[in-house]
Amino acid sequence: MPTLLIVHHTPSPTLQAMFEAAADGARTDEVEGVDVLVRPALTASEVDVLAADGYLLGTPANLGYISGALKHFFDGIYYPCLEATKRRPYGLYVHGGSDTGGAVRAVESITTGLGWRPVRPAVTVTGTPGKADLEACWELGALLAAAVAG
């Protein structure tokens, strides 16, 4: 069965709301036959990445960059997964206090190196997420599940 791996760093209530919306979208009844595996960024491993068919990434924007936890994840999986995961779909959601651009650019740079393909532009939120922001996170999860399902 195809697997969607959600790798997230969720240190705040705002990111928790975004994570829950994205995970709910990934588990939608509209897409059948996809296992959703959730791993915090500090515990996700190359084994998880190699076993998955697509990736949903969530991070805060910290000091203009991705969280240290997500960077740690990428550092651990980059070379072991470089060849085996090319062309797999991914999506990204980012929350920042005032800016998310640096974090988005960092993930885009790393995933370009991995050869992953975005299913849509990143969902970015500054401040408190509104209903439309959470719906965009849900849609991102559903879109990735559909991409993984084929």
Extents of the domains making up the chain: 3-149
Confidence of residue 4 (pLDDT cuts 50, 70, 90): very high
Q: Which is nearest to 94 in space by CA: 14, 5, 37, 6? A: 14
- CATH 1.10.3720.10 at 3-149, yes or no: no
pTM of the model: 0.97
Alpha-helix residue ranges (DSSP H) falling in 35-97:
46-51, 68-81
- Within a 10 A sphere around the Cβ of 45, how many other Cβ atoms? 14
Q: Region 77-85: what's the mean pLDDT?
A: 97
Q: Which is nearest to 146 in space by CA: 5, 38, 33? A: 33
Beta strands in the chain (DSSP E): 3-8, 35-40, 54-62, 65-66, 89-96, 117-118, 123-126
Confidence of residue 6 (pLDDT cuts 50, 70, 90): very high
pLDDT in tens, 26-63: 999 999 999 999 999 999 999 999 999 999 999 999 98
